[in-house]
A and B are shown apart, each in its own frame.
Chain A
Amino acid sequence: MNRTLNIALPKGRLGEQVYDLFEKAGYGCPALREPNRRLVFENEEKGVRYFWAKPSDVAIYVERGAADIGVAGKDILLEYRPDVYELLDLGMGRCRMCVAGYEGFRDDLSRTLRVATKYPNIARRWYAARSRPIDIIKMNGSIELAPIVGLSDVIVDIVETGKTLRENGLAPLETVVPVSARLIANKARYKFRSGEIRELCARLEGLLKEDEGI
């Protein structure tokens, strides 16, 4: 079997931050910094192969074993509930999953609440736990538009700074769950690569604690 550790990283700013941490931990792959359109980068000496994946797909690559480990947002893990190990909170890309709506929004309990979201499973579970009947409107982007044009009463979405909400007269109403990037591992691969994965995990944790001054 191939002994290279396959690592799926989320494309974009978060992925680059995560790679910086991996590099600092001794798992660098210089080719990854070169400006090109390649998707897979390998450092044979370090025994690592990285690939960039759409952030929402990282968990699929890991769950299906195309990647041994990967980094995915807690929002994606909660929405799709992939059967993976969640080994470490990397503390990066911190934000909140919120219910948001017009400032001062009052829930009219005599009507079904219309909820626009990219995260139907998270929204469904949140309201089911409160026995609140809802109508989920599954969106793919620009969720903030939904309450403004009357498509929904509220939205369930990621809030980083809240600037987009504020500029559109909206506000976070409730925090569903805090979100950050997590190191995940395929359960089967972990059984046969536990030494390497535990070592990598310990090095990353050490660096994170250093950063926190612990």
Chain B
Amino acid sequence: MNASLLPAERVSLTLRGLYQSFGYTRYRVGKFEEYDLYARNRNFLSDDRILTFSDINGQVMALKPDVTLSIIKNTRGDDRMRKVWYTENVYRVPRGGDSFQEIRQTGLECIGTVDLYTMGEVLMLAARSLETIAEEYVLEVSHMGILTGLLEARRVPPALAGEILVAFGEKNPHAVRELCRQGGMSDEAEALFSALCVMGGPAEETLPQLLALPLPAAGRAAAEELAAVCRLLKTFGSFRVEADLSVTNDTDYYNGILFRGFVDGIAAPVLSGGRYDHLLNRMGKSGAAIGFAVYLSELERLIDREGEYEADTLLLYGDGCDPAAVAERVKELAAEGKTVRVQPKGKAEIRCRETEEVTG
């Protein structure tokens, strides 16, 4: 029996190699960060509850709920291109949960100039990350500019625009229609918004449908950028990519391309990312940024432990047994390539393929 890696460990190791092979360098962050960083960017976090403590100098500190904010804080904001990857634990309340959890995540950030190639490379690395996790995966992509372009062209007030974005996130056409009516939009606008809301499927089929719609200039430019990135992605290889406008996020932080990854067998996204120039700029840095995180903690659901043995042989010995005889037998079993759990006679809490007793 060979020592086996848990899915999260295997994926983490493979992704490290993948990101490094494209010139991304390791970025290490500590577990603590000044609480103020999160207080100023509360809405960027998926949950605003944060574990805090007072440092010995009285400064309020937090156990990091997020890595991206710390990386940006450390970024110079000059014209130097920064491409980094990380594997860290973060501490937050998962969506739908009711207590803090330690969550392992890996990811990468690309800060500086984000052009078409950069977006394509990041999207390719996201797709290849998903391929590493499972054969059956979907990378769904969207572009914030399509919806924001439409909303701005129709001068939709911010509060209503926020509600429309939420309804898009729910793929909720009846709510979108209702909100369009509340906003006094025309039947034509209502039809356009509800068509976009349910639009989703393989990128090569969906994007032409999207481009055929009567989009305003800003929305069309965004849709064309999304199509261009997807075309570039094809140059890197064949990936299962779906265009889906239900991928939305906070417009205060995100702009441009957004994406999310799913694998069959896990009920939540295992990857999410996008372009977040607005966050960078809010934190006083110039330039652009794009990145993603892979939620390694989610991967524990992928393993089926039913019927799996944790060691080949359970080797038991009695009270009067000679320890040298036990050691000799352990050596023999190890030489046969077997894994051995050794303990005095009694019940073992692990599952072993066979049980053997040393006498003498």
A86 in complex: contacting residue of B95, B170, B201, B267, CB < 8 Å: B170
Question: Is there an interface contact between B246 and A1, defined as CB atoms closer than 8 Å?
Answer: no
Interface size class of A (residues with CB under 8 A): 20 to 34
Question: Which of B52-60, B119-127, B171-179, B318-326 interfaces with chain A?
Answer: B171-179
Contact A85–B170 (Cβ < 8 Å):
yes
Say yes or no: A192 contacts B138, CB within 8 Å. Answer: yes
Contact of A83 among B96, B200, B264 (CB under 8 A): B96
Chain B residues near A194 (CB-CB < 8 A): 200-201
For residues 155 through 214 of chain A, which have their beta carbon under 8 Å from a beta carbon of chain B?
185-189, 191-192, 194
Contact A191 B267 (CB under 8 A): no
Q: Is B140's CB within 8 Å of the partner chain A?
A: yes
Residues of B within 8 A of A187 (CB): 262, 268-269
- Is B184 part of the binding interface, using a Cβ–Cβ cutoff of 8 Å? no
Contact with B along A57-96 (1 / 0, CB 8 A): 0001001111000000000000000111111110000000
With A84-B170, A88-B174, A194-B201 as contacts: A65 and B138 at CB distance below 8 Å: no
Cα separation A168 to B171 with both chains bound (whole Å): 40
Contacts of A63 in B (CB 8 A): 96, 267
CB distance from B298 to the nearest CB of A (A): 10
Contacts of B170 in A (CB 8 A): 84-86
Taking CB atoms, residues of chain B closer than 8 Å to A1 are: 136, 264-265
B267 pairs with A186, CB closer than 8 A: yes
Note all chain B residues with C-beta closer than 8 A to A189. Answer: 267
Is B266 an interface position by the 8 A CB rule?
A: yes
> Among the interface residues B200, B242, B267, which one has the most CB atoms of the partner chain A within 10 A?
B267
Q: Do A86 and B172 have beta carbons less than 8 Å apart?
A: yes
CA distance A67 to B235 in the complex (A): 37
Smallest distance from the beta carbon of A9 to chain B beta carbons, Å?
19
CA distance A84 to B138 in the complex (A): 17
Name the contact of A188 in the complex, choosing from B175, B201, B246, B267 (C-beta under 8 A): B267
Residue A82 contacts which of B96, B200, B262 (CB distance < 8 angstroms)?
B96
Question: Is the CB–CB distance between A64 and B96 below 8 Å?
Answer: yes
Q: Which residues from chain B sit less than 8 Å from chain A, CB to CB? A: 95-96, 136, 138, 140, 170-172, 174-175, 200-201, 242, 246, 262, 264-269
27 residue pairs from A and B, CB less than 8 Å apart: A1-B136, A1-B265, A63-B267, A64-B96, A65-B266, A65-B267, A65-B268, A66-B267, A84-B170, A85-B246, A86-B170, A86-B172, A86-B175, A87-B172, A89-B174, A185-B171, A187-B262, A187-B268, A188-B262, A188-B266, A188-B267, A188-B268, A191-B138, A191-B242, A192-B262, A192-B264, A194-B200
A residues near B (Cβ < 8 Å) are: 1, 60, 63-66, 82-89, 185-189, 191-192, 194
